[in-house]
Each structure stands twice: as C-alpha cells, then as structure tokens.
A and B are shown apart, each in its own frame.
Chain A
Amino acid sequence: MIKNLDACRVIEENRGDAVVVTTMGAGNPRFGWPVVSHNEELDIPVGGAMGKASSFALGLALAKPERKVIILDGDGSLVMNLGTLTTISERSPSNLYHFVFENGCYAVTGGQPIPGEGKLSFKDMASGAGYAAAYDFDDLEDLASNVGRIFNEKGPILVNLKITPEIENIPIHLRERPTRNTRSAVQEVRRALSS
C-alpha cells in the first residue's frame, strides 16, 4: 500500500508543466496534493463534483493537446462516473494521465466501503474500455521508478494506486479547508493557459 501524500509527491516530482486536476483524498489540504505542489497556478481542485473531475480533465486535455493533463481521481469518484472511461477512450487524448487513488472506501464520509470494494479492477476496466494502457501499483518504490516512463507514453493511461485509507471522521466544518476553491482555480488556470 502507498500513502496518499507519498503518491502525490512522486507524481509532483514528475509533473513537468502539466495541469493537475484533483478531487477528494488526493486533493486533501493536510495529506494530499496541496502539500506538495510547486505549481499551484496549474492546479485545479474539483471538489464535490460527484465523480466528474475526470470529465473536466478530458475537456481540458482536448482543449490543450500540447500539454499533459493529470487527473488525480478517487475510487469512489470513479465508480460514480464509470462512463467516463468509455467517454475518454472514445476521444483518446494522448496527453491525459488518469491516476486513481484506490483506498477502497469513501474516506471523506467516514470510511464506508465503495461498491465492489475488493472485487473490482480499475486497471481491467480501463483496458476493457480502450485506454492506451493501464497499470496497478501498490508499492511506492515501484511507482517512483516507473512514473517518469509512463508520462512518456501516449495516453490515455490509467494508473491505479493502492492507497492506505486516511479516514476523516470529524464534522466537515471542523476540518481544514482548501485554500483554493474550484471557482477561483478555474479562473487562475484559464489565465495561466492563455498567457
């Protein structure tokens, strides 16, 4: 199993000038992407989108084919929007890298298991949907030694990460809130991409 923050750090070290779209645990302000990112102006947190962060990333990848787009998705988010796999595959943007942080549960709502937990394979689903490639990683060193190579492959690629659950079980209003919200981030990234 890989820790959420460690996975983010390895991806950040290899992101280059990619736009990074985050949702749920991957974008957690205490143990997720905001802690490690060095290029906030190209980060877009898409929270509370009921699984649509990957769809947002698809649109961005189609609009900017010359730039890598990385989506850090949740497993609960992906099962809410499984059709995104076929939609992404249909257009097959070669610049889209779809990471799934699979912790097996809805960590932000108290750790309830997602449907199909322990049975499903996002790697097989992505391959079956027609992604260019799909990988599973459950070891940090293995991920670290391969992620650079993966970013040199043509997408769309799904990279499924087995993540240690970090369950938040305190009322939402008592949790640390992200410093950037989706509304401000989309405007900032829009400006950054047009300059």
Chain B
Amino acid sequence: MEHGQVEAILHPQAIISELKKNNVTHVVWLPDSETNFMYQQLMEDPALELVPVSREGETMAIAAGLWVGGKRPVALIQNTGIFESGDSIRGLGLDVDQPLVMLVGYRGWDRHGITRDSAAKFTEHILHAWGISYYLVETDNDASRISLAMEEAERTCKPVAVLVGTEFGT
C-alpha cells in the first residue's frame, strides 16, 4: 500500500446489497468518516431514498414516521450521534416498539490495540444500558449480519444496532 492509503476491507456495495435484500426503503442519515464512501452510491441508487438530517436525534423520529407510514427505514449515524440521540432512542424507538436497525459508525474502534477514543469506550456500555442488541461489521464477509439485525428488530419490535467497525473502502 502507498503511504496514507487505507486497506479496503469493507465496501459500500456490501452494505447496500444487504439493505436492498431486506427491502429497506429509506436511509436516514448524517454523514461520518466511517460511512462517507457510501454517500455517492446511495445517491445513485434509486432503490434507496436518502433522508439527510441536521442532527442525529432527528433520525429515530423521522424513521418512526416512515415506519408508521408503512416504509422500512434504517438510520445511519456515528456513535457520537448515538450519544446525542439518547432521548429519541428512548421515546421514539424503544417506547413505541419501533423495529429500527441503526447502522452506527464505530469511531475509535480498534480490535488490535487500546481504544483511546471515549466515543468507542462508551458505545457498547450505552447500548447495554438500553438493552439494545448489536452486531459488529468490519469486512464484506460480516455484512450478512445486517440481515440478522433486521430479523431481530422485526421479531422483537425493538431497535437493533449494527456497529460499522472500519472505514469503507472504495
């Protein structure tokens, strides 16, 4: 690899294919560094409607409205946005039994060393506190866990998280 080049082990298309396989209709999102490579492909794919938000707490509320209207949205935000979204996850996710899959950019995650980023340190603790199940996706081979998350969300009528543990490659 050349200096500064990041090894591409997770491709946007792997994620998008999973979303389409599960008949997802809308991606409600705020861009982050882990998922920014998805943007162009999402914009070019007519099967998935992109709903950009100004702040992450809006995502669960917008998704709830879409769900009540018969659509099947997912949220796509960073773990920092999960912290910001606490009351929306409580009030318009957990409390109303919304089967929402939240794709969460796992900022600071590193399975090979010590995590020094507090965003990563607190992420799983927060999800545990809410009783929200989660799956880790780091490579294309992990992408099928999105289907597991979708199935669990529907079966339990609760939000389920998918932690995206690496930046997308192109």
Interface residues of A (CB under 8 A from B): 44, 46, 48-50, 52-53, 55-64, 81, 83-84, 86-87, 90-91, 182-183, 186-187, 189-190, 193-194
In the bound complex, CA of A81 to CA of B62 (Å): 13
Q: Can you report 5 A-B residue pairs in the complex whose CB atoms are below 8 A from each other?
A: A59-B62, A63-B65, A84-B58, A183-B95, A190-B70
* Chain B residues within 8 Å of A46, by CB: 61, 92
Known pairs A52-B92, A59-B61, A182-B91 / 14 extra A-B pairs, C-beta < 8 Å: A52-B60, A52-B61, A55-B61, A58-B62, A59-B65, A59-B67, A63-B66, A63-B67, A81-B55, A83-B54, A87-B62, A182-B92, A183-B95, A193-B69
Asked whether A60 and B55 contact (CB < 8 A) given A49-B88, A49-B91, the answer is no
In the bound complex, CA of A62 to CA of B73 (Å): 11
In the bound complex, CA of A64 to CA of B18 (Å): 25
In the bound complex, CA of A60 to CA of B70 (Å): 9
Q: Select the residue from B26, B54, B62, B97 with max chain A CB neighbours within 10 A.
A: B62
Report the 6 A-B pairs with minimum CB-CB distance, sorted nearest first.
A59-B65, A63-B69, A83-B54, A55-B61, A60-B65, A52-B61
* Chain B residues within 8 Å of A61, by CB: 65
Q: Tell me which of A56, A62, A83, A90 contacts B92 (CB under 8 A).
A: A56
| B66, A60: Cβ atoms closer than 8 Å | yes
Q: B96 in the interface, Cβ–Cβ < 8 Å?
A: yes
Min CB distance B28 to A, Å, is 8
Min CB distance A130 to B, Å, is 12
In the bound complex, CA of A78 to CA of B51 (Å): 20
Min CB distance B71 to A, Å, is 5
| A62, B51: Cβ atoms closer than 8 Å | yes
Q: Tell me which of A49, A52, A59, A187 contacts B69 (CB under 8 A).
A: A59
Tally of contact residues, B, Cβ under 8 A: 31
* Chain A residues within 8 Å of B70, by CB: 63-64, 190, 193-194
In the bound complex, CA of A80 to CA of B29 (Å): 19
Q: B68 in the interface, Cβ–Cβ < 8 Å?
A: yes
In the bound complex, CA of A40 to CA of B152 (Å): 32
Q: Tell me which of B51, B68, B97, B98 contacts A60 (CB under 8 A).
A: B68
* Chain A residues within 8 Å of B98, by CB: 186
Min CB distance B56 to A, Å, is 10
Provide the B21-35 mask, 1 if CB < 8 A to any CB of A, else 0: 000001010000000
Q: B63 in the interface, Cβ–Cβ < 8 Å?
A: yes
